Structures are given as structure tokens and as C-alpha cells.
């Protein structure tokens, strides 16, 4: 704007008027007036326009902007919010109206501009750009459900407020570590026997996890289990929101999201409480591609629930990969959908350099592919390799997987490690319920 003022000054020998500058610069009268005020302040000796009645000794007073008026009307699950004044954007409107965006979503909105007129102390007309912003809102039922679910969960924790006492157990010989990872349970998946060969709903998925963990634990206990690692996640739930995975992919479901999350929460608490009767339990929460956020929320619930349990440790950190080390054994856990399996040995060495140096048995346990597999990666030296295991899935195929011909035997696996000698036993349990 300065170059336009100085151009006019060179041609006419005086500063331009507000309207002349607006025409020359292609801007509003208000913007021109503001630019002239700043220029006069910086150049008090510049010759004034013959119609310029401003006092050269002091800057022109800033126009007083009218206060925005905001209206809000609600009728059931829809609402309308509108403002007139200096509010220019939807975000400013929602903030001024104190709209809870976790409950309401914007269906549509419009922004219109107009001009307001006022005069300064010298009688100059000041033009102020003003705006009308109007939005139509709809209640977001999925978000409302999640908020209600959060309230229910917090209420359940507050009502239970568990205080766990140390458990006295008989001495255990062997000192082995039992690793339980009921992967790809997909609690909340829906399947119809006529389409897929077997019915599947929330109760079936919950019971499949329960009986698999019980059976695998019973197989391992005779070896002498001193510690238990329970992996919760790896698509423990079918969805991350009603009817959709984390990436927004629609999938077949049974029941509501709230029902599935509540069932998964209660099942995880039940498993931990039952396993602590045998040995101290470390819970590793590993997010999957179906339930990335849900597992994060579930891990926070478990950490709060067992905060006073001396025999339970919950790793609720919001990271994709979790590690567990005892003695010369280093185990990595990830769902397996993000990383290349061939990169996992290097990732382990980079993320756990001290544990890597102290270990000889190094293994990854992954899920995601709904089939059992393993690969052995040799290191650069002969100090030991890295095994990447893809374990079985507990979930049966839904309609889409069945139509595509993707099928596998619903099963779960458990591994027993000795802190000094590595893997000692591996157990496999085929679910009879799915």
C-alpha cells in the first residue's frame, strides 16, 4: 500500500484521500484509511490532502468495531448458530457460541460479508468490513456414544475402586515366563452361519478368548511359571468407532460399539485377575489396524483399574511396539501391519540397544495375517538370530473374508521362555467355539 501512496504523492504533491487510495490500490475504504494513518505517523511532514481533516499531531482514533452478536437455537438433534459482526470463520463462530464439537458436527455453513459505517472524531466516514456466519449443526451420535461409554467406564472404575492385596503363592520351580497373546479376537465382529459357516457375535468372541487363555495356561503351568505376559490388543476389537476400523473401512459388526468395548474391557479385567492367582502379570497393550484408538483407551482403563495391584504391571504407553526383557531373553510385540518383517530385527536393535546387547534369545510376536508363520533372520555376527513369529488368529471369517476365500483355523498360541535358555515350549489351542 505504501508504494501507491508515494505514487500519488509524486503525481499530485500531496497525500491521497481515503477513497482515492482505495481506487488506486484496489482495496476497501477501511483498509485505505488504516494505511494512510500508518503512513502519516511514519511521515508527519508529508503534505496532506486538501480534504484531510485529521490532526497531524496525533493518530486518528481506531474505529470501534461493533461487538459480535451470536444466536443459538436447538431443536432435538439439530441446531442453528449464527453471528453478525467481526467473526469471520466457522471455528470462531463455534468457539464464540461454546459449541461442544465432540457432540455436534457441522452439516453446512455460509459466510457473507457486508460493510458497516461510522465516523471518527473529525467527521471522516470509516468503513468497517463485517461478516455474517451461519452454521447448521447435527448431533454426532457416534461421538455421543463414545462420551457416554467413557462416562460409564469411569463410573465403573469409581464404583469398583479395587484395592488389590499381594497374593501369597506356593513356591514355583523352573522360573519360566508364560507369554499369552490371544491375537485378532475381533470382539464385535458379526458373522452369519449361512454366509460364513458359523455364527459369530460378541459372546462367541469373548468366550473364545476366555477358553483359549484358560486352556493354554493349564498346558503351561506344569513347567513352573514364575511370571506371565498377557498381550491385549492386536485387533482385540473389530472396530475403532461404530461400524468402522481405524482407517474408516466399513466392516461387519455384531451389537453396538459400546457393547463391544464394554465386553472387551470386562474380559481383559477378568483375564488379568484370574492370571494373577498363578503369577505376577505384565500387560502389554499393542494396538492393531482395526482398533488402534480403542486399545489405547482400553490400556488407560486397565492402568487405572490395576493402579494399586502390586502383582500387575500395565504398559499403556501410546506406542506401536512394546518390548519385554528378562535375563537373556528379549521379546518384541507389534501387530505387524505397519513394519516390514524383514526390518523388525534392525528396529529391535535400534530401539533396545542395551537389551539387545544383553540378550541371546531375540524374538518378535506379531498378528494381523490370521495365519501361523515364522521367519528366522540371521544377524551380521554369529551371536544369535532373530525370529519373527506370526501367530494364529482367534477370529473366524466374516462375510467379506468368506466371499474372498480368506479362511483360517481359529486358534491361539502361547510360548514359555526361560530367562537364561530362551524358548522352552510352545502351545497351540484350536478354539472349539468358532
φ/ψ (deg, to 5) at 405: 85, 15
Going along 97-243, which residue ranges are E strands?
A: 104-119, 125-139, 176-180, 225-233
Is residue 222 domain-shared with residue 366, that is, in the same domain? yes
Q: Are 425 and 384 in contact (CB under 8 A)?
A: no
Which of the listed residues 139, 162, 192 is the one where a domain comes to its end? 139
> What pLDDT shows up at residue 381?
33
d(CA 209, CA 244): 22
> What pLDDT shows up at residue 64?
45
Spans in the chain with pLDDT lower than 50? 58-65, 370, 373-374, 376-383, 434
Is residue 266 domain-shared with residue 299, that is, in the same domain? yes
What is the domain count for the chain?
3
Which of the listed residues 117, 139, 161 is the one where a domain comes to its end? 139
Which of the listed residues 60, 85, 107 is the one where a domain comes to its end? 60
Is residue 73 domain-shared with residue 168, that is, in the same domain? no
Rounded to a whole number, what is the largest CA-CA distance in the chain? Answer: 103
d(CA 329, CA 176): 11
172-181 CB burial, b ≥16 within 10 A, e <16: eeeebbbbbb
Is residue 109 domain-shared with residue 152, that is, in the same domain? no
Q: Are 233 and 286 in contact (CB under 8 A)?
A: yes
Is residue 129 domain-shared with residue 151, that is, in the same domain? no
Residues 6+ apart with CB under 8 A from 171: none
Domain that holds residue 210: 142-430
Residue 67: strand, helix, or coil = coil
Q: For residue range 376-405, list pLDDT tens digits in order.
A: 444 433 335 799 998 888 877 666 556 655
Is residue 264 domain-shared with residue 356, that is, in the same domain? yes
d(CA 331, CA 364): 6
Amino acid at each position: 500500500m505504501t508504494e501507491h501512496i508515494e505514487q500519488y504523492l509524486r503525481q499530485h504533491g500531496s497525500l491521497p484521500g481515503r477513497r482515492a487510495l482505495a481506487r488506486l490500490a484496489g482495496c476497501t475504504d477501511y483498509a485505505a484509511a488504516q494505511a494512510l494513518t500508518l503512513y502519516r505517523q511514519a511521515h508527519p511532514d508529508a503534505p496532506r490532502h486538501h480534504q484531510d481533516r485529521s490532526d497531524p499531531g496525533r493518530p486518528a482514533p481506531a474505529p470501534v468495531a461493533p461487538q459480535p452478536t451470536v444466536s443459538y437455537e436447538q431443536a432435538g438433534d439439530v441446531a442453528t448458530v449464527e453471528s453478525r459482526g467481526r467473526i469471520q470463520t466457522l471455528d470462531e463462530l463455534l468457539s464464540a457460541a461454546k459449541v461442544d464439537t465432540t457432540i455436534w458436527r457441522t452439516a453446512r455453513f455460509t459466510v457473507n460479508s457486508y460493510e458497516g459505517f461510522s465516523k471518527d472524531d473529525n467527521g471522516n466516514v470509516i468503513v468497517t468490513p463485517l461478516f455474517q456466519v451461519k452454521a447448521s449443526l447435527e448431533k454426532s451420535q457416534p461421538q455421543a456414544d463414545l462420551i457416554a461409554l467413557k462416562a460409564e467406564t469411569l463410573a465403573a472404575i469409581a464404583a469398583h475402586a479395587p484395592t488389590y492385596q499381594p497374593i501369597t503363592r506356593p513356591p514355583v520351580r523352573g522360573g519360566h515366563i508364560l507369554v499369552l497373546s490371544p491375537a485378532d479376537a475381533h470382539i464385535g465382529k458379526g458373522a452369519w452361519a449361512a454366509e460364513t459357516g458359523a455364527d459369530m457375535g460378541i459372546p462367541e468372541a469373548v468366550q473364545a478368548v476366555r477358553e483359549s487363555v484358560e486352556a493354554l495356561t493349564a498346558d503351561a503351568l506344569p513347567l513352573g511359571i514364575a511370571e506371565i505376559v498377557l498381550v491385549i490388543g492386536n485387533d482385540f476389537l473389530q472396530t475403532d468407532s461404530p461400524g468402522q476400523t481405524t482407517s474408516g473401512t466399513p466392516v461387519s459388526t455384531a451389537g453396538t460399539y459400546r457393547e463391544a468395548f464394554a465386553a472387551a474391557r470386562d474380559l481383559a479385567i477378568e483375564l488379568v485377575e484370574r492370571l494373577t492367582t498363578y503369577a505376577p502379570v505384565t500387560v502389554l497393550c499393542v494396538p492393531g489396524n482395526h482398533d488402534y484408538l480403542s486399545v489405547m483407551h482400553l490400556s488407560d482403563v486397565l492402568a487405572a483399574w490395576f493402579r494399586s495391584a502390586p502383582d500387575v504391571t500395565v504398559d499403556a504407553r501410546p506406542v506401536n511396539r512394546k518390548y519385554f526383557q528378562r535375563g537373556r531373553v528379549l521379546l518384541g510385540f507389534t501387530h505387524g501391519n505397519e513394519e516390514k518383517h524383514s526390518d523388525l530385527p534392525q528396529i529391535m536393535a535400534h530401539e533396545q540397544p542395551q537389551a539387545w546387547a544383553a540378550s541371546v534369545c531375540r524374538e518378535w510376536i506379531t498378528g494381523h495375517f490370521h495365519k501361523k508363520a515364522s521367519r528366522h533372520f540371521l544377524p551380521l555376527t554369529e551371536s544369535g538370530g532373530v525370529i519373527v513369529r506370526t501367530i494364529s488368529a482367534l477370529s473366524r471369517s466374516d462375510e467379506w473374508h468368506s466371499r474372498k476365500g480368506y479362511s483360517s483355523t481359529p486358534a491361539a498360541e502361547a510360548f514359555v521362555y526361560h530367562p537364561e535358555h530362551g524358548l522352552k515350549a510352545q502351545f497351540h489351542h484350536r478354539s472349539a467355539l468358532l
